[in-house]
Structure 1
Amino acid sequence: MAINQIAKIGLSSLQVIYYFENLFIWSIKLIFNRLRFSQYH
């Protein structure tokens, strides 16, 4: 029972970490593209 609970918590926190990592990468890509774009124009 306790192990199952820990596994569920671990899995959900992994999903949260993965989500925030993707969000972080996307925002960096957007900022980088915007900076590159502003240099050319």
Structure 2
Amino acid sequence: MPRAGVILVANGFVAAIERVRSGSRYHVLPGGQIEPGEEPA
């Protein structure tokens, strides 16, 4: 499954999504599945 992600840096900070699952907290970069007809860029 093709996927795309992004690293967004603004004012020295990196954008990340915080997730909490099964009592564990972690961060992931924004992204998702590439839909038919979309380009990775």
TM-score class, shorter: under 0.3
Higher share in helix: 1
TM-score (norm 1): 0.16
Greater Rg, structure 1 or structure 2? 1
- Higher RCO (CA-CA < 8 Å; seq separation 6+): 2
